[in-house]
Structure 1
Amino acid sequence: MFHGVRTVMIFADDPEASARWWGGLLDAPVRLDVADTGAVYAWIETAGVELGFHPADDARNPRGGSPVVYWGVDDLDRARARLLAAGCEHHRGPLEIAPGRRIAQLRDPFGTVVGIEGP
């Protein structure tokens, strides 16, 4: 019935800037659509997952209403260091949640909390 994650929607004050930051970090091209209202919708695809960047709207898509998505990584410490160097801020962790399995959360420059999970 369920398959792997296909799309993660991120609600941002500046969807294009957020998509360009993530696209640069993940070496993924950014695609844009501009609505008649001038609102920008942006997305990238990486590792078989589409990251969509949608304008934040407190009435329909309140901040903090999105789940934290965890990226699987080969080396948690190295991935965390790369994210911090790219402009993320520490949010929580690293935490060992099971033997050989750790997680950490960081906040990107646009306020989105993202998780990483790995050894």
Structure 2
Amino acid sequence: MLRGLTTVSFRAADLAAAKSWYTELLGVEPYFQRPGYVEFRLGDHQHELGLIDSRYAPAGTDAGPGGAVVYWHVDDVSAALERLLSLGAAEYEPLTERGPGFVTASVTDPFGNVLGVMYNRHYLEMPATRG
């Protein structure tokens, strides 16, 4: 039923500031924009990270961090965490060894979204199976 990740969406009350912050973090400009929405393509599989103006949040949505954390693969969790913190993110979950080949950390971005980073050895094995 679930075929793969398409878009991870974050909300921001100040969409222009969020666009600027993520452009700096990612080192790329958004590939798609329209009023109230900005979208970046990232990584080996060109997954999408969308930023949505908070005004479009469903009624009754809590403004705090949600219960799900999406982890993005990085080659060095410690360096990624350090960069995120230097850009003004706040630690949500510290760098944690989860087992051989698995390290995670997460932050809350300046707009209240949880952003996870992970080194995952299985992620690195995946491209090799595709030839």
TM-score tier by shorter-chain length is 0.7 to 0.9
2:53 maps to 55
Is 1:111 aligned to residue 107 of structure 2? Answer: no
Query: TM-score w.r.t. structure 2 length?
Result: 0.75
CA RMSD of aligned residues (A): 2.0
1:29 maps to 29
| Structure with greater helix percent | 2
Gaps of 5+ in 1: 35-39
**Structure 1 residue ranges (4+ consecutive) displaced by more than 4 angstroms after TM superposition:** none
1:71 maps to 72
SS in 2 for 1:114: strand
Are the aligned partners of 1:103 and 1:118 in contact in 2 as well (CA < 8 Å)?
yes
Gaps of 5+ in 2: 121-131
Deviations 1:9-60 (A, max 9, x none): 11221223212211221112134312xxxxx211222220111111223616
Q: What is the CA-CA distance between 1:3 and the residue it aligns to? A: 3.0
Q: What is the CA-CA distance between 1:93 and the residue it aligns to? A: 1.9
Aligned length: 114
Query: TM-score w.r.t. structure 1 length?
Result: 0.82
1:52 alignment partner AA: G
1:7 maps to 7
In 2, Cα distance between equivalents of 1:95 and 1:117: 9
Q: What is the CA-CA distance between 1:69 and the residue it aligns to? A: 1.1
Structure 1 residues 33, 61: closer, same or farther in 2, change over 3 A? farther
Correspondences of 1:78-97 after superposition (within 5 Å): 78-97=79-98
Q: What is the CA-CA distance between 1:70 and the residue it aligns to? A: 0.4
Identity of aligned residues (%): 33
Are the aligned partners of 1:16 and 1:41 in contact in 2 as well (CA < 8 Å)?
no
Q: What is the CA-CA distance between 1:61 and the residue it aligns to? A: 4.5
